[in-house]
Amino acid sequence: MRNGKLLVRYKKKKPLIAQILRLKFPLIVDKKVIMVWGNRIYTENILPNDLVIHEKVHVEQQKYSKLWGLLWWIRYTFSAPFRLKQEIAAYRKQYQFFCDVNRNHKKQQEFLKRIAWDVSGPMYNRLIGFNQAEYLISKKNN
């Protein structure tokens, strides 16, 4: 666990688990797709701060552990409601961070539309509709 430390790995090669997951999520082997396993974020590119916030949520969901990460990925793969809950939590934190550092309302709305498209698009097997994604991401935590 390394005392809850987050490690970002800038590597072209994703962990072995990615090869298994691509059966369910073909886009996961795409160079642009970032993957979290345990306390590591696997990416080829330097990430903007808002995206680091998003991925850190997944690290926390996996309890900084490869074992918990494996269990998390099993649920994530086979349970659409679980996958939706996990992604909405991560996108909500990402959006809140973006809004905190970008006070321009137009930019906030453009950003919200972009990430709502991600949730409602093919990367997550079209979990929900665009309008519902936009609403859930922008909704304040209760």
pLDDT tens across the length of the chain (142 residues): 344 566 777 666 778 888 778 777 776 656 577 889 999 888 888 899 999 999 999 999 999 999 999 999 999 999 999 999 999 999 999 999 999 999 999 999 999 999 999 999 988 889 999 999 999 999 986 5
Query: Residue 81 and residue 87: Cα distance in Å, rounded?
Result: 10
> Phi and psi at residue 8, in whole multiples of 5°?
-105, 125
Q: Which residues pair with 16 in a beta bridge?
A: none
User: What number of other Cβ atoms are within 10 A of residue 46's Cβ?
Assistant: 9
Q: Where are the domains of the chain?
A: 1-78, 80-142
CA distances from 96 to 16, 57, 99, 137 (A): 32, 13, 5, 9
Give the pTM: 0.89
Give backbone dihedrals phi and psi of 9, rounded to 5 degrees, phi first: -105, 115
pLDDT confidence of residue 18: 81
- pLDDT for position 23: 79
